[in-house]
């Protein structure tokens, strides 16, 4: 069940017309990874005339919103690995300046209707790294996918770096 208060707080940095994540259910996989299943709607693109399909910019925005909620809920519920020592205050302090997308790849299989679609995301791994001469950070590998009622499909992978970690 979606924690509406948490969702509102996670989406607070977004402009009103760019809040695409409507709901999210977060669970833990058998492998111990945090997982989210989400519902989205993009009534109107925030930057371009209507393309009639989900595009790469919107895929990235939706990924960010899904990922932020998944991390916040994981911290709140103690799910997955990598965020055990975090508090929600830590998450909100680091949400925008310190959670970086290091690599992002998406594959469009069939056009996805942006007006109503579903998505899911999983943390595949979260490891703490401490490079020589640098501060420690969390390195996370994730996978995601989106689909709609008309068999639209998009999927991909992203690597995240959580810097200045608590």
**Hey, which bits of the chain come out as E strands?**
21-28, 34-40, 99-110, 117-129, 137-147, 153-162
Residue 95 has pLDDT above 80, yes or no: yes
The model's pTM: 0.95
Domains of the chain by residue range: 4-162
Which superfamily, per CATH, for 4-162?
Answer: Rv0098, thioesterase-like hot dog domain (3.10.129.30)
Q: Which tens digit of pLDDT belongs to each residue from 5-61? A: 999 999 999 999 999 999 999 999 999 999 999 999 999 988 888 888 999 999 999
Structure tokens that stand for 18 in this block:
């760019």
Cβ neighbours, 10 Å, residue 161? 16
C-alpha 135/C-alpha 99 separation (Å) is 14
81 pLDDT tier (thresholds 50, 70, 90): confident
């Amino acid at each position: 069940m979606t924690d509406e208060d948490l969702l509102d707080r996670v989406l607070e940095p977004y402009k009103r017309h760019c809040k695409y994540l409507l709901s999210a259910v977060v669970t833990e996989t058998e492998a111990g990874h945090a997982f989210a299943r989400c519902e989205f709607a993009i009534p109107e693109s925030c930057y371009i005339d209507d393309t009639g399909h989900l595009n790469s910019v919107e895929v990235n925005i939706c990924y960010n919103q899904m990922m932020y909620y998944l991390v916040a809920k994981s911290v709140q519920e103690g799910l997955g690995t990598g965020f055990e020592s975090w508090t929600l205050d830590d998450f909100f302090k680091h949400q925008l300046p310190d959670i970086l997308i290091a690599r992002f790849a998406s594959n469009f299989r069939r056009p996805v209707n942006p007006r109503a679609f579903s998505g899911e995301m999983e943390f595949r791994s979260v490891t703490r790294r401490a490079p020589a001469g640098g501060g420690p950070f969390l390195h996370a590998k994730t996978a995601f996918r989106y689909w709609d009622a008309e068999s639209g499909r998009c999927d991909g992978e992203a690597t995240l770096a959580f810097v200045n970690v608590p």
